[in-house]
Amino acid sequence: MPGKPAFPLTPPVPLAALLAREDLALRQIAGPADPGTVLHGAHTSEMADPYPYLLGGELLLTAGVHIPEAAGSGTYFDDYVARIVAGGGAALGFGVAPVHDTVPRALVAACETHGLPLVEVPPRTTFASVARAVWQLMERARTAELRRVTEAQQSLASAAARPDPVPSVLRRLAVRIGGRAVLYGPEGTEIATAGPAADPDDSLSALARRLTARGSATASDTTPTGAHLTAYALGNDFVLTVATPTREPGDHTIASVAAVLLTLLTSTQETGSATARTSALVRLLLGSTPQEVTPLLDTGDRWLVVHASPSSQGEHPHPGARGTARPAPTHPHPPDQLSAAALSASLGSPLMDIAPDVVRILVPADRTPEPQPDWTLGVSSEVPAHHLPTADAQAARALARARATRTPLARHTPPKAFASLLPPGEAEEHARTLLAPLAAAPALKETLRTWLSLHGSWDRTAVALAVHRNTVRQRMARCATLLGTDLDDPDVRTELWFALRVIDQ
C-alpha cells in the first residue's frame, strides 16, 4: 500500500495550464479552483479502487466503466473519491461517452465533499491526448527549469569572479531563488546577508547551529509562516542558509552551486589557525625571531622537520625479496600539490613547503611521524624553533639515508656513547679543525658524511645523493687528498664520523 506520495523529479504543471488548452476543451465542474493545484503526471484506470496504483500527484482519467448501475443510491462514489484522495491523486478526469452521457451527480457531490478537482473530458477528446498534453507541459516546465538553473549557474560563477565575491554570490543567489541568503562563520557569526529581510533570520540561525551540531551536510525546515529553510555545510565551519517563500524544483540545485562556490571562497578566509600562521609569517618578515612567533602557532615549543619524496619503483622492496636481484630505484618524480597536501594532513600539520624534488613539513614534536604509503620520509630530531635550520639539514640527510637503504622512513639519531662524553666546546673545536679542509667544498663534506653513514657503499651513496657512482669515487678521492688521510683506515673513519656528528648537533 502506498504511503506518502512519491512525486517524480520532473517539474509539476498547474492544473490551470491544462484547462487552458483550447484544443482539449476540458472543464472543471467540481472541487476547489485552487491555482496551486499541480499535476505530476496522468494515469488512466477503470479500477473500482485505484488506490494501490497511484504514486501521488496524478490526474486520474476514467470513463466510469467500473461504476455499477445502482451506484448512485449508495456510498460507492464517496468511497471511490475518498480512496483517490488517500492515494494522493491531484484531480479526477471523467470522460463523457461512450459509457456515460453525463458526469454522475453523485460523483460531482463526492468530489465537492472531499475537495478533489473534477474535470469533464468531452467526447471528442481522448485520454491519450490529455496524457500527452500533461507530459508536453511537464517537458516545457522542465526545459524552462533547466534554462533557469543554467542561467543561475552562469550568474553565480560571474559573481564569484567579482572583487567582492562572497557578497556578490549571496546577492545573485537571493535574486535567483526569490528569497533570502545568509552566510554564517565558524562561531555562528553572521558574515553576510542578501535578499529581503524577513522573520526567518532567527530560524535560519537556529538551523545553521543545528546543522553544525549534527555534523551533517544539509538540513531543512519550514517556519510557521510557511517559509522553506535550507542549510548547507561549506567546510571550515561555514554554513550557507537560504529561505524561500515557496520551494521550486531548481532551488536546491541553484543553492548547491552557490554552496560549492562559497566553499571555495571561504576556504581562503583567514580564521583560527590560518590567521595565526599568517601573523607568524608577517612577524618573521618584519624581523621577529622564530622563537618569538612560534607561540602563535599553538603547537608547543619543539618541532620535527620532515623531508619527503615520492617513492620510486623498486625503492621499498618487499621483505620476501631478500637475497634476490632488486631493481635500482629511479630518481623520484616531483611531488604534486594534491598528494603533498594529503601527506601534510596525514602527518597532522598544515605547515608545508613544496620544492621541486622534496616536500618539507614542520611537525609539532608531540606527533610522531609514521611511514606513509608511496612516500619516503626523513625525520629530524626534536629541536626548539631557533634550531629549525639544523633540523632541516638533519631531515635532508635522513631522507638521503632512507632512499639509499630503501626504507620508507629514516630518523636522525643524535650522537651517543663516546661522543657524548666529550666536552661540547672542545669537541666542536676539534671537529671544525679536523674538517677545515672541506669547509669550502660543501658537496665534498656531504658526500663524505653520506659515504660514512652507508658504511662506504659507493652504490648506496650514489643513490642517496642522486649522482653517478663514479662521481662518488672522485669526490671521496678528493676528500682523502684534502684531509691528507687514508679513508680505508677504520680509526680515521671513526674520527671523521664523530667530527661530523658533533657539527650536526
Task: Please name the helix (run of DSSP H) or strand (run of DSSP E) that holds residue 449, with its range, or none.
Answer: helix 442-453
- Measured CA to CA, the distance from residue 289 to residue 278 in angstroms comes to 15
- Measured CA to CA, the distance from residue 470 to residue 418 in angstroms comes to 34
Write out the three cell numbers for 355.
620544492
Write out the three cell numbers for 122.
468531452
- 13-138 and 161-266 share one CATH topology? no
Q: What is the pLDDT along the chain (505 residues), one digit of tens a residue?
A: 344 444 445 778 999 999 999 999 999 999 999 988 999 999 999 999 999 999 999 999 999 999 998 777 789 999 999 999 999 999 999 999 889 999 999 999 999 999 999 999 999 999 999 999 999 999 998 888 888 888 998 999 888 887 778 888 999 999 999 999 998 887 777 888 888 875 555 788 888 888 877 777 888 888 888 888 898 988 767 889 999 888 787 888 899 889 888 888 876 544 455 667 777 777 777 888 777 777 776 556 788 999 998 876 555 554 444 444 444 444 455 666 657 777 777 787 778 888 878 899 988 888 888 888 888 999 998 888 878 888 898 898 889 888 888 889 999 876 554 555 556 567 777 788 888 888 888 888 889 888 888 888 888 888 888 889 899 999 989 898 888 888 888 888 888 888 887 776 5
What pLDDT sits at residue 294? 74
What pLDDT sits at residue 7? 41
- Measured CA to CA, the distance from residue 450 to residue 456 in angstroms comes to 9
- Measured CA to CA, the distance from residue 46 to residue 238 in angstroms comes to 54
CB 437 within 8 A of CB 483: yes
161-266: in CATH 3.30.450.30 = yes
pLDDT in tens, 303-327: 899 999 887 655 555 444 444 444 4
Domain ranges of the chain: 13-138, 161-266, 271-295, 300-315+329-411, 418-504
In words, the CATH class of domain 13-138 is: alpha beta
Distances (CA, A) of 293 to 98, 112, 209, 363: 91, 78, 34, 16
C-alpha 293: how far from chain center: 31
Q: Is 364 helix (H, G, I), strand (E, B) or coil?
A: strand
Distances (CA, A) of 342 to 232, 350, 383: 25, 10, 25
What pLDDT sits at residue 2? 43
Q: Considering just the CA atoms, what is the radius of gyration of the chain in Å?
A: 38
What pLDDT sits at residue 8? 42
CB 7 within 8 A of CB 18: no
C-alpha 474: how far from chain center: 52
pLDDT in tens, 189-242: 788 888 887 555 578 888 888 887 777 788 888 888 888 889 898 876 788 999
Instruction: Provide the sign of the torsion angle of the four alpha carbons 400, 406, 410, 412, taken in this order.
Output: negative
CATH architecture of residue range(s) 418-504: Orthogonal Bundle (1.10)
Tell me the angle at which helices 76-86 and 105-114 cross, rounded to the nearest 10 degrees: 40
Q: Which of 41, 54, 249, 38 has the alpha carbon at shortest distance from 133?
A: 41
Give this prediction's pTM: 0.46
One-letter amino acid of 357: D
Q: DSSP states of 387-415 as a string? A: GHHHHHHHHHHHHHHHHHTT-SEEE----
Q: Which of 28, 106, 27 has the alpha carbon at shortest distance from 67?
A: 106
Q: Which of 361, 304, 356 has the alpha carbon at shortest distance from 333?
A: 356
What pLDDT sits at residue 82? 96
First CA to last CA distance, the chain: 78
Q: Parallel, antiparallel, or unpaired: how do β-strands 190-194 and 218-222 relate?
A: unpaired
